[in-house]
């Protein structure tokens, strides 16, 4: 996958660190078509809270999320609803 190669690049990771952006890779994907009616939004929010709790960085559960749009199919009208 293209994004996996990007995430492994030292220059990319250093720049994300400089910007204060965390990278979280979710595998396997739990939803290719983002439709909150299927419960994927709740699964995502719970996952982020759990990652925050387990990592010791509880802020992960409540910070804004920048979605990589080519990774999953998210209808444009739903993107603003994802934290």
**What are the 10-residue block averages of pLDDT along the chain, 83 residues in total?**
78 88 76 77 89 91 74 51 46
Predicted pLDDT at 69: 57
Predicted pLDDT at 82: 46
Q: Judge whether 83 and 65 are in contact, CB under 8 Å.
A: yes
């Amino acid at each position: 996958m293209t994004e996996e190669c990007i995430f492994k690049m030292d220059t990319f990771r250093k720049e994300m660190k400089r910007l204060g952006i965390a990278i979280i890779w979710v595998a396997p994907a739990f939803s290719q078509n983002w439709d909150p009616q299927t419960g994927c939004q709740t699964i995502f929010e719970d996952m982020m809270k759990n990652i925050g709790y387990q990592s010791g960085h509880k802020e992960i559960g409540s910070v804004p999320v920048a979605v990589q749009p080519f990774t999953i199919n998210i209808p444009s009208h739903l993107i603003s609803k994802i934290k």
